[in-house]
């Protein structure tokens, strides 16, 4: 019998909302954000645990990354091999991580943005500190294990990390509706901060910063706003200004060199190439004439970018220019967001350390409870063996008289003599008094005869004494928080001693950058733009010598000042402003530069229809005409704006600008439609509007008809156009009224 379909009716918006929230939480919890306890994202945690399970330890041979990635993906992280390998590579890069967790062998990328080699070529193993302080004690029930994605394996919910990895290595992640960005810190300083918190849980942010004064980036550099760090570390959000380190080297003949030896953390990767291009641009646009050459001499030994300077260069002003105009000074946005008790939370530095310390107490409690249970079990067995040695003859008699192990075990545990044959009644009476535990009885039955040697018995007694001492020690640790704190602090101090390193990033208060830009001497130039959008400026004398060729080869020829701006109006209703000084100034036969490269103009989406000098149009009126026959007059002063791009007019959907032209006097406007209707109206009939207005209708269009052209004729001007194989004299058309149909001419 066919089962009837069940149709569940539900509100679509509610279903979408629920589904999106489920997706967002999955991304937040299972991918993008680190856990405050171990400072690791799930992919990092699973990769490290898989390496631990595979036995890829620091003192063993490297293994292929492809093996690690494949095993991690198959067992724990079913989200694609690229994300796993990328996480593995980053954990091995010492220029990204303050404390690398993976020891990489092969090409693991470079600070300049070179990618790592394919996973089939590279090898890796755990770093020593990762094995000793991130993965140790997993066999002591210190963390919970949860089923993997298909419930065929178990994986740790969190790694038993004993150092605050969230601060040491920092974190970056983009979730849904939230991001995390935590800078790396100095290993020794963070350990000092944790110890200080354990000694004084009421410590505040300012006091904590005596131990952790600020971030410590692997690339070094300088933090330029040290005074802002207190507020950042209190709230968990803010902006850190980071500068590169620049040194001056004196060369021969009074020529100096600027050498960049450390870069901002944000410049890692492709931004180094961008920095070099930005320096080239400063030279090309004549923002500075002090740089003669630039070379990137960076190597495995470190960063070294050399700027050769001309003789007599203003070194300090050039430094400030580089900080102001390039990535040599950048902003690191801080948002200290992590998962706390299953929820994302933004925290300051003290709450992060508080959560870490609570986690350490939890790890220590579970660890020493497990060790205590093991020692108590060992004590029980040892006491049983010691007691058995004292009555060994009786036990041997019991074993010889028993028919099976069950009878012997019952006699040892409960004194049940049953059918056991004894040599004497006294032995039977003594056997009935035996009360060993189950565990002791099993140990006695498994005991080998060599344990009866005198030295072995002495060793057993010494082991028993050690066991009793261990039990007393573990009970003291578990019974006293102060004792547990001493143990944790002792381990942290040993870790700091072995793995600590000096600070790399300097913390300073540097003022705002002041660049004294050289004033450009104002002069008259000629702006030239050809029909392909290549623009340049030339000297007036050069234009006069080549006037005929210049006028013939260029679509726009304008006289302007080298300190002025050029307006480019497009068919999309946009106005792009070009600074004349950004245009190349040179010889008449120089090619020029595309305006796409020096403005927001996009030649694939827009067409320029009118170009003018801003100073010229500021004192006149401009006429706008569009495809849907909308007309308006705008005061040119409205286009004197600070933005590089602004809306020159408001357009309806599907409309575009056909004409932008200067108004000088008693002109007339002629509109030509696709269906060959013509309408001539006086320009005075069009009202003046703001640039943000649509305008008024100039011609009534029928059906799907649109304008193909708008013409502006002077009072005595004559012009003719061809349409439908006929010539139409525009100046002979009868003048009509605005918003009428016009007359058909073909």
Q: Which residues contact 421 (CB under 8 A, 6 or more apart)?
A: 401
Q: Yes or no: say if 537 and 527 are a contact pair by the CB < 8 Å rule.
A: yes
Give me Rg for the CA atoms of the chain. 41
Q: Is 343 helix (H, G, I), strand (E, B) or coil?
A: strand
In the numeric block, the tokens 């704006």 are attached to: 641
Q: Yes or no: say if 740 and 679 are a contact pair by the CB < 8 Å rule.
A: yes
In the numeric block, the tokens 């131990």 are attached to: 211
Q: Yes or no: say if 88 and 103 are a contact pair by the CB < 8 Å rule.
A: no
Q: What are the Cα distances from residue 93, in Å, to 40, 89, 111, 113, 127? A: 16, 6, 9, 12, 12
Question: How far apart, in whole angstroms, are the C-alpha atoms of residue 275 and residue 282?
Answer: 11
In the numeric block, the tokens 């569940």 are attached to: 8
Q: Yes or no: say if 578 and 599 are a contact pair by the CB < 8 Å rule.
A: yes
Q: Which two tokens stand for residue 544?
A: 């006069």
Q: Which of 283, 372, 374, 380 shows the shortest CA–CA distance to 322?
A: 283
Residue ranges in 94-204 assigned as alpha helix (H): 128-133, 165-168, 187-199
Q: Which residues contact 483 (CB under 8 A, 6 or more apart)?
A: 476, 477
In the numeric block, the tokens 């998962």 are attached to: 339
Q: Which residues contact 409 (CB under 8 A, 6 or more apart)?
A: 441, 442, 445
Question: How far apart, in whole angstroms, are the C-alpha atoms of residue 577 and residue 614?
Answer: 8
* Residue 590 CB-density burial (10 A; 0-12 exposed, 13-18 middle, 19+ buried): middle
Residue 520 CB: number of other CB atoms within 10 A?
12
Q: What are the Cα distances from residue 467, in Å, to 71, 372, 477, 696? A: 40, 10, 15, 98
Residue 186 CB: number of other CB atoms within 10 A?
25
Q: Yes or no: say if 528 and 592 are a contact pair by the CB < 8 Å rule.
A: yes
Question: How far apart, in whole angstroms, are the C-alpha atoms of residue 594 and residue 329?
Answer: 29
Active site residue 121: yes
CA angle 674, 678, 684 (to 5 degrees): 125
Residue 480 CB: number of other CB atoms within 10 A?
11
How do 305-309 and 291-296 pair as beta strands?
Answer: antiparallel
How do 534-539 and 593-594 pair as beta strands?
Answer: antiparallel
Q: Which residues contact 618 (CB under 8 A, 6 or more apart)?
A: 636, 637, 639, 640
Q: Which two tokens stand for residue 35?
A: 């856990």
DSSP-assigned letters across all residues of 494-523 = HHHHHH-----SEE-B-------PPPPPP-
In the set 23, 49, 58, 121, the catalytic residue is: 121
| CA count, 13 A, side-chain hemisphere, 540 | 7
Residue 705 CB: number of other CB atoms within 10 A?
17
Q: Element (H or E) spanning 441, and its range?
A: helix 438-446
In the numeric block, the tokens 């600027």 are attached to: 258
Q: Which of 674, 669, 671, 746 shows the shortest CA–CA distance to 704?
A: 674
Q: Is 669 helix (H, G, I), strand (E, B) or coil?
A: strand
Q: Is the dihedral of CA 207, 210, 214, 217 positive or negative?
A: negative
Give the residue numbers marked as catalytic: 121
């Amino acid at each position: 019998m066919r089962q009837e379909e069940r149709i569940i009716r539900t509100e679509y918006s509610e279903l979408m909302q629920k589904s999106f929230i489920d997706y967002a939480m999955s991304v937040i919890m299972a991918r993008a954000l680190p856990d405050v306890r171990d400072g690791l994202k799930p992919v990092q945690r699973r990769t490290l645990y898989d390496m631990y399970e595979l036995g890829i330890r620091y003192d063993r041979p490297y293994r292929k990354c492809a093996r690690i990635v494949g095993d991690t993906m198959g067992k724990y992280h079913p989200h694609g091999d690229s994300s796993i390998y990328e996480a593995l590579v980053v954990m091995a890069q010492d220029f990204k991580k303050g404390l690398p967790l993976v020891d990489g062998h092969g090409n693991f990328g470079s600070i300049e943005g070179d990618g790592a080699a394919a996973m089939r070529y590279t090898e890796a193993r755990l770093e020593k500190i990762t094995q000793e302080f991130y993965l140790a004690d997993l066999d002591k029930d210190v963390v919970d294990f949860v089923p993997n994605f298909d419930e065929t394996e178990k994986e740790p919910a969190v790694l038993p990390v004993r150092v605050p990895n969230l601060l040491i290595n920092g974190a970056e992640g983009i979730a849904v509706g939230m991001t995390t960005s935590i800078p790396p810190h100095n290993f020794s300083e963070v350990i000092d901060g944790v110890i200080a918190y354990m000694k004084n849980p009421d410590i505040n942010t300012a006091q904590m910063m005596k131990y952790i004064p600020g971030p410590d980036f692997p690339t070094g550099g300088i933090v330029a706003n040290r005074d802002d760090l207190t507020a950042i570390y209190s709230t968990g959000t803010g902006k850190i200004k980071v500068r590169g380190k620049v040194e001056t080297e004196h060369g021969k003949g009074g020529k100096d060199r600027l050498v960049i030896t450390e870069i901002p953390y944000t410049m890692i990767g492709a931004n180094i190439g961008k920095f070099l291009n930005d320096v080239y641009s400063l030279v090309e646009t004549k923002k500075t004439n002090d740089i003669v050459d630039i070379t990137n001499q960076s190597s495995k030994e470190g960063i070294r970018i050399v700027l050769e300077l001309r003789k007599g260069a203003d070194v300090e002003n050039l430094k400030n220019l580089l900080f102001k105009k390039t990535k040599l000074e950048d902003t690191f946005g801080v948002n200290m967001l992590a998962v706390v008790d299953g929820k994302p939370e933004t925290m300051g530095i003290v709450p992060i350390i508080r959560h870490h310390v609570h986690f350490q107490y939890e790890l220590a409690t579970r660890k020493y409870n497990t060790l205590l249970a093991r020692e108590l079990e060992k004590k029980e067995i040892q006491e049983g063996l010691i007691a058995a040695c004292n009555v060994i003859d009786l036990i041997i008699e019991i074993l010889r008289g028993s028919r099976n192990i069950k009878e012997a075990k019952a006699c040892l545990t409960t004194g049940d003599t049953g059918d056991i044959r004894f040599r004497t009644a006294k032995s039977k009476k003594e056997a009935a008094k035996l009360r060993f535990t189950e565990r002791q009885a099993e140990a006695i039955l498994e005991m080998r005869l060599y344990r009866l040697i005198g030295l072995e018995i002495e060793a057993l007694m010494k082991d028993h004494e050690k066991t009793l001492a261990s039990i007393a020690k573990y009970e003291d640790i578990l019974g006293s928080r102060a004792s547990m704190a001493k143990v944790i602090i002792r381990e942290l101090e040993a870790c700091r001693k072995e793995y600590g390193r000096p600070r790399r990033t300097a913390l300073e208060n540097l003022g705002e950058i002041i660049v004294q830009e050289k004033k450009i001497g104002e002069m008259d130039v000629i702006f030239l733009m050809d029909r392909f959008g290549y623009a340049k400026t030339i000297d007036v004398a050069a234009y006069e010598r080549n006037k005929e060729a210049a006028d013939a080869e260029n679509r726009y020829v304008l006289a302007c000042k080298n300190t002025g701006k050029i307006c480019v109006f497009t068919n999309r209703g946009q106005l792009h402003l070009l600074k004349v000084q950004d245009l190349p100034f040179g010889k008449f036969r120089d090619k020029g530069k595309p305006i796409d490269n020096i403005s927001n103009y996009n030649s694939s989406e827009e067409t320029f229809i009118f170009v003018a000098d801003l100073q010229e149009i500021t004192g006149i009126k401009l006429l706008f005409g569009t495809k849907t026959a909308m007309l308006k007059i705008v005061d040119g002063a409205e286009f004197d704006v600070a933005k590089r791009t602004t809306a020159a007019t408001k357009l309806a959907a599907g409309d575009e600008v056909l004409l932008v032209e200067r108004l000088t006097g008693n002109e007339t406007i002629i509109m030509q439609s696709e269906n060959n209707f013509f309408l001539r109206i006086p320009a005075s009939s069009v009202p003046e509007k703001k640039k943000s207005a649509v305008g008024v209708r100039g011609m009534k269009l029928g059906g799907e008809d649109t304008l193909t052209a708008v013409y502006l004729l002077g009072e005595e001007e004559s012009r003719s156009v061809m349409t439908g194989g006929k010539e139409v004299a525009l100046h002979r058309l009868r003048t009509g009224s605005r918003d009428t149909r016009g007359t058909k001419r073909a």
